[in-house]
């Protein structure tokens, strides 16, 4: 073999040229010239499933991104873009390398070839960072022990990690939200999204931000109608330029209209979320601990009265169909609803998925369309499992539905959820209270049935509760965890507190959301999704700071949400 350093240098030089014109690492790797003749691969080349060229590119990507062989194998099985980039057969995603094949091939590379690979990983990573093809948040940290870094103050750490996230937002996250407008548009997507961040930072609206831009002669602030049209375009299916509402589908099942709006927004949200999640890959705490997610629903209040004549049962004919009723603090209200699935516990509390919620409300006909809880949960789990390997899913009692639990069980996941307390539960609670020593109990092997057929068996846990609305001061939980012993109840129930951040999460997201009176659902859903994305970026920043400072993940935020979103808007404007 030629000198390994020289071989690696030739690849890196070509990569530097590619990085000057390409935006994505996988495109750089796809176009790289790999001198296969200078690589030594001890596998029998007449019998291998994957050639040296393909495997070198794959292992190069793995090294640059700092991900495990198992994770890379999983990504290859579901991402045609990567398969194409590494020169594999794009027509069959099932015929991609397994974790074992990746490990075997790496072991069959000679020491010189492994040195070429290692040098190439380091070189291509650096030129990708230098050319903003990657941000530091998307590659593993390489620790150093210089006196300068050892003496780095807490404030400097905070600044460094925050700037890392801001760079990630500019290059790899927010730009996923494409407004699909003409190339000659006066205001770029970056300007529109900078304006969105500024609205969030000032707790304002499109009108107030546009008015401020007009008063200050700010050329980078468009009028409110231009801004609103651009945001709506994100949620507009590519084959439609018109406003999509339920009425557009009045002659058919009306839900597909909202499905199409949802899919347009979620395509962008998913791509952005994947970049956020990938930015914390490689941290041992993220990979080794149990991965717990929580599913819940929040409300964006809508104050308009739905009735034309409530006593006569006549609703307003043009009342927004995506508004549903809900009860909060003993009062019945109305609002747009959104379901989310969020990493909780010892992980960065990143929202992995968002789903619009449509429920049949009292002012609507009985046959009005709605999404079932089981469908919502299924879609949210599908989305979350694209990004992380889940272990446990937690719900609030509003998801007490057998089909929900059946779906989670079929995925091989554990569920934990409080349940409404019925008469038989009250009897069990009374038995606990009358017991001389026990303060908790478990009911084993409770059947969970679907259409009358046994699906699986669950455990019902009875434990003391500090909640004022708990019947008999006891809470009842259901889980499909294997047989729970009484001594384990407290630990399992206490684990439910790992949903600790959900309510704060919703408060933060709502504090970001622009004020609007629009009933166009494209705008409503986009506002929530983009505000959730900003929340994710803030939480990512907080996570990176706490990891760097070895602070508990559940400790109070190191940077406030308002400070972060203000910096985000300024950063987008400065470098966008």
What is the C-alpha separation between 75 and 245, in angstroms, rounded?
36
Same domain, residue pair 331 and 386: yes
Tell me, yes or no, whether 22 lies in a domain.
yes
Same domain, residue pair 116 and 176: no
Tell me, yes or no, whether 263 lies in a domain.
no
| pLDDT tens, position by position, 304-314 | 999 999 989 89
The rounded mean pLDDT for the chain is 81
Same domain, residue pair 212 and 354: no
Same domain, residue pair 295 and 171: no
* CA distance from start to end of the chain: 45
Same domain, residue pair 379 and 484: yes
Same domain, residue pair 199 and 120: no
> Residue 343 sits in which domain range?
276-504
| pLDDT tens, position by position, 329-381 | 778 899 999 999 998 877 778 899 999 998 888 898 888 888 899 999 999 99
Tell me, yes or no, whether 204 lies in a domain.
yes
Same domain, residue pair 458 and 569: no
What is the C-alpha separation between 295 and 277, in angstroms, rounded?
18
Same domain, residue pair 189 and 305: no
- Per-residue model confidence (pLDDT) at position 66: 74
Any idea which of 8-12, 198-202, 433-437, 548-552 has the lowest mean pLDDT? Answer: 433-437
Q: Does the pLDDT of residue 456 top 50, yes or no? A: yes
| pLDDT tens, position by position, 475-489 | 889 999 998 888 888
- Per-residue model confidence (pLDDT) at position 365: 87
DSSP assignments along 525-555, one per residue: HHHHHHHHHHHHHHHHHHHHHHHHHT--TTS
Beta bridge partners of 299: 337
Do 71 and 79 meet the contact criterion of CB atoms below 8 Å apart? no
Q: Does the pLDDT of residue 243 top 50, yes or no? A: no
Same domain, residue pair 495 and 512: no
Confidence tier at 160 by pLDDT (50, 70, 90): confident
- Per-residue model confidence (pLDDT) at position 490: 83
User: Of 476, 504, 532, which residue constitutes the final position of a domain?
Assistant: 504
Same domain, residue pair 195 and 309: no
Tell me, yes or no, whether 271 lies in a domain.
no
Q: Does the pLDDT of residue 2 top 50, yes or no? A: yes
Residue 79, token pair as written in the block: 């991402």
Q: Does the pLDDT of residue 143 top 80, yes or no? A: no
Please, what's the b/e burial string for 227-245 (b: 16 or more CB within 10 A of its CB; e: otherwise)? bbbbbbbbbbeeeeeeebb
Work out how many domains the chain is built from and give that number.
Answer: 3
User: Of 504, 532, 563, which residue constitutes the final position of a domain?
Assistant: 504
- Domain containing residue 464: CATH number: 3.90.350.10
More reliable by pLDDT, 533 or 166: 533
Give percent of the chain above pLDDT 70: 83
Mean pLDDT of 387-391: 87
What are the CA-CA distances from residue 545 to residues 175, 253, 282, 389 (Å)? 24, 48, 16, 24
Tell me, yes or no, whether 266 lies in a domain.
no
User: Of 454, 483, 504, which residue constitutes the final position of a domain?
Assistant: 504
């Amino acid at each position: 073999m030629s000198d390994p350093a020289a071989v690696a240098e030739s690849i890196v030089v070509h990569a530097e040229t590619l990085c000057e014109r390409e935006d994505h690492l996988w495109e750089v790797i796809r176009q790289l010239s790999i001198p296969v003749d200078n690589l030594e691969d001890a596998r029998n080349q007449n019998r291998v499933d994957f050639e040296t060229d393909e495997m070198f590119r794959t292992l190069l990507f793995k090294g640059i991104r700092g991900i495990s062989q198992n994770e890379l194998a999983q990504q290859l099985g579901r991402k045609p873009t990567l398969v194409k980039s590494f020169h594999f057969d794009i027509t069959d995603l099932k015929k991609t390398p397994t974790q074992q094949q990746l490990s075997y091939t790496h072991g069959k590379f000679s020491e010189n070839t492994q040195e070429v690979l290692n040098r190439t990983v380091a070189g291509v990573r650096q030129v990708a960072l230098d050319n903003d093809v990657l941000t530091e948040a998307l590659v593993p940290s390489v620790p150093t022990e210089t006196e300068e870094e050892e003496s780095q103050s807490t404030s400097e750490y905070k600044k460094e990690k925050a700037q890392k996230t801001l760079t990630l937002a500019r290059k790899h996250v927010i730009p996923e939200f494409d407004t699909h407008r003409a190339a000659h548009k006066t205001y770029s997507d970056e300007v529109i999204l900078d304006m969105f961040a500024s609205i969030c930072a000032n707790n304002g609206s499109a009108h107030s931000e546009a008015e401020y831009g007009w008063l200050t002669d700010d050329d980078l602030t468009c009028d409110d109608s231009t801004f609103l049209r651009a945001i709506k375009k994100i949620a507009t299916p590519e084959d439609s330029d018109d406003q999509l509402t339920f009425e557009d589908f009045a002659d058919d099942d009306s839900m597909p209209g909202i499905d199409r709006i949802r899919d347009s927004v979620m395509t962008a949200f998913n791509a952005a979320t994947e970049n956020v999640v990938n930015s914390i890959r490689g941290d041992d705490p993220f990979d080794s601990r149990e991965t717990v997610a929580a599913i819940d629903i929040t409300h964006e209040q809508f104050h308009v009265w739905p009735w034309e004549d409530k006593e006569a049962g006549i609703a307003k004919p043009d009342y927004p169909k995506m508004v549903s009723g809900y009860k909060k603090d003993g009062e019945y209200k109305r609002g747009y609803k959104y379901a989310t699935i969020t990493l909780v516990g010892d992980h960065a509390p990143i929202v992995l998925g968002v789903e619009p919620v449509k429920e049949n409300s009292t002012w609507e006909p009985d046959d009005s369309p709605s999404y079932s809880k089981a469908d919502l949960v299924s879609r949210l789990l599908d989305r979350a499992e694209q990004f992380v390997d889940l272990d446990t899913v937690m719900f609030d009692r509003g998801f007490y539905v057998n089909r929900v639990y059946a779906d989670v069980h079929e995925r091989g996941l554990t569920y934990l959820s409080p349940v409404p307390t019925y008469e038989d539960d009250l009897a069990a609670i009374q038995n606990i209270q009358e017991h001389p020593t026990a303060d908790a109990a478990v009911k084993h092997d409770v059947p969970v049935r679907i259409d009358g057929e046994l699906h699986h068996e669950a455990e019902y846990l009875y434990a003391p509760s500090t909640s004022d609305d708990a019947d008999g001061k006891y809470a009842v939980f259901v889980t499909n965890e294997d047989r729970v012993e009484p001594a384990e109840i407290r630990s399992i129930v206490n684990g439910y507190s790992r949903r600790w951040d959900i309510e704060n999460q919703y408060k933060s997201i709502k504090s970001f959301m622009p004020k609007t009176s629009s009933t166009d659902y494209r705008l409503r859903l986009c506002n929530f999704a983009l505000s959730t994305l900003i929340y994710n970026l803030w939480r990512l920043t907080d996570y990176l700071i706490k990891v760097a400072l070895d602070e508990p993940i559940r400790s109070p935020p190191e940077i406030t949400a308002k400070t972060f979103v203000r910096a985000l808007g300024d950063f987008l404007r400065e470098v966008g």
